[in-house]
């Protein structure tokens, strides 16, 4: 583990709703997986389990229909997801350009997602990023406690070797914004899932419509931290 360097700055990205929109893709492949067990869920069934990781995402819906969850349900959904990601996953405009600019600025970069590593890597490949672009990737399997608990973000900061106070988080979900606040980190809410007012009320320091707008805030935030 790296030692904390108080002169370094970290930018931590949630995946879904920030870099890509893969929610509908995951619903599609999860439905196909669960149909093998004799049920016919609909996409709306997954809404309450969004952002909680795929064990809860698929398992919660399975239990709605009276099925006991088993890991094979997720494994098959992921198999389909990997096969069809290029077709189903939507990459937000200019994400690759913004990520390259953040890296050129000298900030340490992390992805912190509740999803499993196979899904995160598949999504990064859809963006066009090579392995090793991010300084670290933290997934749901790396944290006992899920968002809004701060564990996943604190793990990311520790791996980056950056003081949590010098980290800024990009999130689209209320649970993620609250996790960042509990970790002592600044956050930018992306309004792909929740309205601006909701994200600000949850503790976001800023709320913007997309990652392009977020880049200007990251630059200004870093300059303000250097001055302090």
Q: What is the DSSP string of 160-199?
A: HT--GGGEEEEESSHHHHHHHHHTT-EEEEETTSS-HHHH
Residue ranges in 90-150 assigned as alpha helix (H): 95-104, 117-127
Q: Select which of 14, 21, 45, 55 is catalytic.
A: 14
Strand partners, 71: none
Which residue of the set 5, 16, 142, 216 is catalytic? 16
Residues facing residue 190 across a β-bridge: 208
The per-residue b/e assignment along 33-42, b for 16 or more CB within 10 angstroms, e otherwise, is bbeeeeeebe
Q: Is 210 a catalytic residue?
A: no
Known catalytic membership, residue 16: yes
Positions annotated as catalytic residues are 14, 16
């Amino acid at each position: 583990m790296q030692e904390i360097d108080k002169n370094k700055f970290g930018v931590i990205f949630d995946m879904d709703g920030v870099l890509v929109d893969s929610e509908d893709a995951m619903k599609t492949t999860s439905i196909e997986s669960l149909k093998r067990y004799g049920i016919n869920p609909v996409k709306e069934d997954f809404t309450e389990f969004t952002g909680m990781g795929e064990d809860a995402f698929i398992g919660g819906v399975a239990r709605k229909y009276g099925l006991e969850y088993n890991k094979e349900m997720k494994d098959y959904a992921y198999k389909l997801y990997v096969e069809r990601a290029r077709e189903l996953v939507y990459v937000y405009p200019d994400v690759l350009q913004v990520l390259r600019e953040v890296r050129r600025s000298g900030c340490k970069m992390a992805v912190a997602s509740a999803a499993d590593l196979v899904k995160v890597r598949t999504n990064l490949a859809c963006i066009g990023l090579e392995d090793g672009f991010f300084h670290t990737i933290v997934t749901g399997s790396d944290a006992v406690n899920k968002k809004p608990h701060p564990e996943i973000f604190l793990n990311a900061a520790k791996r980056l070797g950056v003081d949590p106070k010098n980290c800024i988080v990009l999130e689209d979900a209320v649970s993620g914004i609250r996790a960042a606040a509990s970790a002592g980190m600044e956050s930018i809410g992306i309004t792909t899932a929740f309205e601006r007012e909701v994200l600000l009320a949850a503790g976001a320091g800023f709320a913007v419509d997309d990652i392009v707008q977020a880049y200007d805030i990251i630059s200004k935030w870093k300059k303000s931290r250097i001055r302090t």
